[in-house]
Amino acid sequence: MKTLLKHAHVLTMDDQWTAFEDGYVLTEGGRILEVGSGNMPEADRVVDCRGGILLPGFINLHCHASMVPFRTMGDDCPDRLRRFLFPLENEALTPELVYLGAKYGIGEMLLSGTTTFVDMYYFEDEVARACLETGMRGFLGETVLSQKTPDSESEGGGLKLTEDFLRKYAASDRIRPIVAPHGTTTVSEAALRACEALSEQYGALLTLHASEMDYEMTYFRDQGLTPMSYLGRLGLLSDRLLAAHCIHLTEDDLKQMAAHGVRIAHCIGSNAKAGKGISPIRDAVSRAIPFGFGTDGPSSGNTLSIFDQMRLFAVTQKTRYHDRSLFPAREIVRYATRGGAECLHMEHTLGQIAPGYAADLQVISTDAAHMFPLYNPYSALVYSANASDVDCVMADGNLVVVHHELTQWSLPALREELKRAMSGFYQAAEKYREII
C-alpha cells in the first residue's frame, strides 16, 4: 500500500539540509519512495499534515524502557542504584512487568516521535515481544552483570542469555540483538572480555555505562586509569562500542575513542538530574566522535522524550562553553535523527528522508500557541516543541500514531493493566519507603 503524507514542512536531514515548505513524502512497504513538492503522486492512503513539520523519527540511543514502574521513586536519593534499584529489581521484577513496562515505555516513545531505541535490561525477550507487537524498532540487549540478576541466579549468567538472544534474533529486521554489559565497575574483567568476543563474533553493537559515576572515576583513578583506558586495555574500544553517558572524559580518553571509532549515547536529562556533570560533547565533536541522544530509563530521566534531551543539550553545552552560537538548532535535530543512525551504523537506512530509507517518520503539529510563528522550523523543534505536539508517527511504514493517539492499542487501558501487575512490586517497595 502506498501512503502519501502531504502539505508538510519536510526536513529531509540530508547533506544539503534540503527542505520543502509545502512538501510530501510517499512511502510503500516500509520504505520511502519519493520526497518533494509540487504535483502530488497517487497513493492508496493520504494523510494531510496541515503544515506540520515532517522529519525522520527520533533515535533513542540509551534506555531501560521497562523501568516504568520505578518512575518517581527516589528521584532525590544519592546512590540509589545500589541502595534500592538493584535490590528491588531482584526482589520484585517479573517477565510480566518487563513486558508491560516495555510496552508502556514504547507507547510513550512513539507518542513523542521516537521510532528506534537502544535498550538494556532483563528478560529482554519480553522487550522484543513488545517491539514486535507495537511496530517499534529495537536494538535490544540482555544485561550482563557480575552479580545475581532478576533473570539469572549465577554471576555472569547474562552471558548465556545474551548469546541465546543474539542467535534467536539474528535474522530479524525489527529486532537488532546487541551485547549489553552493565558497566565498567559492575561487570568483571573476564565477563567484559567475553562480551567483546560475542560482539565481534556476531558483529553486534556493544553498549555499556561508562565514565558516569563519581565512584567509578575514583576506583579507576586509584589504579592510574580512567574507565575508557581500562576498556582500551581490555580491547573493548572499537566502532562497535556505544558508550552511554561519558560525562568525565579526559583529553586522552577522547583521543583513544576517536582513534577506535567509539560512539557516545549522550543522556543529558539523566546526567543533569543526578548532578553528575556535563559531558564534553563539543570536544568529542571536534574529534569527529559520533554521538546521539539517549533518555536513559523512565526512572533515571523520568521522560522518554527526545524533545527534552535536545533542549537540555542546547542549554547545557552553551552554558558549559559560554558560547551561545555553539550547536545551532539544525545540528541538534540532526544528532537526534541522523546522528543516532550513524551511532548504530544505520546511516544508509535510518535518519533521513530519502528514497530507499526506512519509512520511520514523524509529523509535528504547529497548531499550539508555542509553535507560532514558524520562522525557523529547527529552532521550533529544539526550543519550542514538546512531545505533545507530535501529531502523526509512521514506523516501518505503518501509521502507529494518528492525531496524538496510538492506533494499535490503548495506553490508558495498558496503564490499568500495568497498575494491577505492579501490586507485588509496590509491596516489595514498601521496605524502601524512607529513602524513596
Contact 206, 181 (CB under 8 A): yes
From 160, 166, 164, select the one nearest 144 (Cα to Cα).
Answer: 160
The DSSP secondary structure of 82-142, one letter per residue, reads IIIIHHHHHHH--HHHHHHHHHHHHHHHHHTTEEEEEEEESSHHHHHHHHHHHT-EEEEEE
**Alpha-carbon radius of gyration of the chain:** 21
Domains with residue ranges and CATH for the chain: 2-56+350-406 (2.30.40.10), 58-343 (3.20.20.140)
Residues 6+ apart with CB under 8 A from 379: 329
Q: What pLDDT is attached to residue 436?
A: 87
Cis amide linkage into residue 290, ω under 30° from 0: no
Q: What pLDDT is attached to residue 154?
A: 74
List the chain pLDDT tens, one digit each, 436 residues: 999 999 999 999 999 999 999 999 999 999 999 999 999 999 999 999 999 999 999 999 999 999 999 999 999 999 999 999 999 999 999 999 999 999 999 999 999 999 999 999 999 999 999 999 999 999 999 999 999 999 987 767 899 999 999 999 999 999 999 999 999 999 999 999 999 999 999 999 999 999 999 999 999 999 999 999 999 999 999 999 999 999 999 999 999 999 999 999 999 999 999 999 999 999 999 999 999 999 999 999 999 999 999 999 999 999 999 999 999 999 999 999 999 999 999 999 999 999 999 999 999 999 999 999 999 999 999 999 999 999 999 999 999 999 999 999 999 999 999 999 999 999 999 999 998 8
Residue 379 neighbours by CB distance under 10 Å: 17
Q: What pLDDT is attached to residue 287?
A: 98
The DSSP secondary structure of 299-341, one letter per residue, reads TTTS---HHHHHHHHHHHHHHHHT-TTSS-HHHHHHIIIIIHH
SS3 for 159? helix
Structure-derived torsion over alpha carbons of residues 335, 340, 341, 345, reported in degrees to the nearest 10: 120
Contact 321, 307 (CB under 8 A): no
pTM of the full predicted structure?
0.98
Give me the half-sphere count of Cα atoms (radius 13 Å) on the Cβ side of residue 78: 3
